[in-house]
A and B are shown apart, each in its own frame.
Chain A
């Protein structure tokens, strides 16, 4: 749990925005995943989500859906995600998180999943399809905390004040704020209400706020300086990879990291 907190403190001290990036385990391959994680860490990224591919990724847009499917078609297993986590968490300093869908956790066994993830060096869990209402049944947040990881709650512009408050009671590390209504995916411009929405959220959320969904370039990032605490860049990097491989990913990452300062 300390790792995410330490990184957040570092970001604060350096008076800049933090950056979280995202990869889909097994896409395009586990070997490329490793290179990309290494590259992200070296470029100055603060957190990396490793998404465990799932057959029905309901909150993801076309790019990440495609990556999920292709990864599964190539035979990626949940144990590959754990192996990748174990290997990379030893190689790099920054916190790594698992992102995915709850069926993966349930199928693995919720307590065992949290235990093994923590053992593998995972610092936090982002599973958007397990809302607070189901916590009583599933004990997901409980086990996440029990094994020393942060439970990253995902909130959206549609969240009512009541729900923001409820989530703030159990959130730890940072809160992941979905900047727009819709699914993941790089967009040309950010939601016009984004700033107001972040302000509304910050009234009730006392831990740092990461903003994602639709962030694709340095201009987007710059516009969030002083408003959000962390920016999340996902689909845009996958798109960059498709267009120009690791080199293009590196270029975009550098411009994004530059824009945070």
Chain B
């Protein structure tokens, strides 16, 4: 059995502070609920039965371990370092999100909660939450900004099929951050029987640490697979996309104290990082510290501290904040944060599909885009692991639109008749 609860020097203190970041900046009425989650989280850390159940779900329900695949065609084509892909897209529901959902839902169940609530942006976390709720026989309500709700109809449809109630959030900008607010407000009102299943390594303590731990399975498997399958002690680089940062922190975590491994997070460069509103790159130009949604970290905000709109071709990276542990890893220089623009992401998506027969999610294609650049600059004896956090089936509407596929347009027209 794997120990997903790793201790290292970047861990938060007992109040959830990653040095100056993180914490628990919430109204008094949420504190008892968070304390209850924290107690539950601390208890399961030493509960072999919990671990056994979680590993069983990982293995038999979600399909773990996901393969670590040597992308030989792509590596040969680029003529540089070897690229390995951690195939998180082969999980049940198509992305790493399920790791965290299974962990938290199992914890909720242990705590005697009957109802799961969640926020979702594009709908991936919502679908994963609705999935585990069905599996664990719990009620489920998912909040989604009205804008996302309208443009992500397929995911809304699936969530409903899975038995969840999906609520369009009509306040504020009607996007992910407003869905977070609505979920917190539901929690405040229904704290007795409800568990907030937060989707990324952010929010108030203990979520950033807890979500990281449930995603650490990714990095642990990479360690084992590199050794056993490829006889590689450690990779030279690990590259992962960073929205809130859960897939990245999950694959980085076992390597944080191994300084020989270069860790690279890739943010959404959107239409260019020069202008606020055009991107979701929080750590590129004069990052600005703030306290929003219960935690302290870097946020895209204006001179008055108001959160700003973001843009990315990938809905999963389209978010103004970044998990507090990433803020610390950035400040310490342990992880380097780069960005990839929408155009580079589409090019990377196409290249990977053509060379390897893998349709990657647009989020994960950010990591691929950076790895392509990096591989070219390195020798063949260097190894890069890319976290392919999700598969791209969900992005068919966006990609077909961006590529201007005429037959697809015709198909949509005909289907709508």
Contacts and interface: CB of A to CB of B under 8 A. Distances in A.
Given A58-B184, A107-B290, A137-B20, A163 B26 contact: no
A102 B29 CA distance: 16
Contact of A128 (B17, B28, B33, B291): B28
B181 interface: yes
B307 interface: yes
Contact of B32 (A69, A101, A158): A158
Contact of B24 (A106, A131, A160): A131
Contact of A167 (B23, B28, B30, B299): B28
Given A107-B305, A129-B26, A182-B188, A58 B290 contact: no
B191 interface: yes
B185 A183 contact: yes
A134 interface: yes
A56 B301 CA distance: 11
Contacts of A56: 172, 177-178, 181, 292-293, 307
A98 to B, nearest CB: 14
Interface in B172-213: 172, 177-178, 181, 184-185, 188-191
Contacts of A108: 305
Interface in B274-292: 288-292
A134 B23 contact: yes
Interface in A140-195: 153-160, 163, 167, 178, 181-183
Given A66-B171, A72-B306, A106-B305, A58 B293 contact: yes
Nearest to A100: B305
A103 B292 contact: yes
Nearest to B32: A158
B158 interface: no
Given A62-B171, A137-B20, A182-B185, A102 B28 contact: no
A55 to B, nearest CB: 4
A5 B184 CA distance: 34
Nearest to B170: A62
A218 B274 CA distance: 54
A83 interface: no
Contacts of A47: none
Contacts of B178: 56
B25 interface: yes
Given A55-B307, A104-B305, A108-B305, A182 B189 contact: yes
Contacts of B292: 56, 103
Contacts of A78: 304-305
A155 B20 contact: no
Contacts of A155: 28
A248 to B, nearest CB: 24
A14 interface: no
Most buried by A among B29, B184, B189: B29
Given A129-B294, A137-B20, A158 B29 contact: yes
A50 to B, nearest CB: 16
A246 interface: no
A59 interface: yes
Interface in B24-74: 24-33
B27 to A, nearest CB: 4
Given A66-B171, A78-B304, A129-B26, A103 B290 contact: yes
Contact of A178 (B20, B29, B307): B29
Nearest to B26: A129
B238 to A, nearest CB: 31
A235 to B, nearest CB: 13
Contacts of A27: none
Most buried by A among B185, B289, B294, B306: B306
B151 interface: no
Nearest to A167: B28
A211 to B, nearest CB: 14
Contact of B23 (A133, A157, A163): A133
A65 B291 contact: no
Most buried by B among A153, A154, A183: A183
Nearest to B29: A156
Contacts of B177: 56
Interface string B290-320: 1111100001010111110000000000000
Given A55-B307, A158-B32, A129 B301 contact: no
Interface in A192-251: none
Nearest to A81: B304
B27 A128 contact: yes
Contacts of A55: 172, 301, 306-307
A134 B13 CA distance: 13
A154 B15 CA distance: 20
B304 A159 contact: no
Given A133-B23, A137-B17, A137-B23, A159 B189 contact: no
A35 interface: no
- List of 9 A-B pairs having minimum Cβ-Cβ separation, nearest first: A107-B305, A156-B29, A55-B306, A128-B27, A55-B307, A182-B189, A103-B305, A65-B171, A59-B27
23 contacts: A54-B306, A55-B307, A56-B307, A57-B181, A58-B26, A58-B181, A58-B184, A103-B290, A103-B292, A107-B288, A128-B28, A129-B25, A131-B27, A134-B25, A157-B29, A158-B28, A158-B191, A178-B27, A178-B28, A181-B29, A182-B188, A182-B189, A183-B189
Given A107-B288, A159-B29, 10 more contacts: A78-B304, A103-B299, A106-B305, A130-B25, A131-B25, A156-B28, A158-B32, A163-B31, A181-B190, A182-B185
Interface of A: 54-59, 61-62, 65-66, 69, 72, 77-78, 101-104, 106-108, 128-131, 133-134, 137, 153-160, 163, 167, 178, 181-183
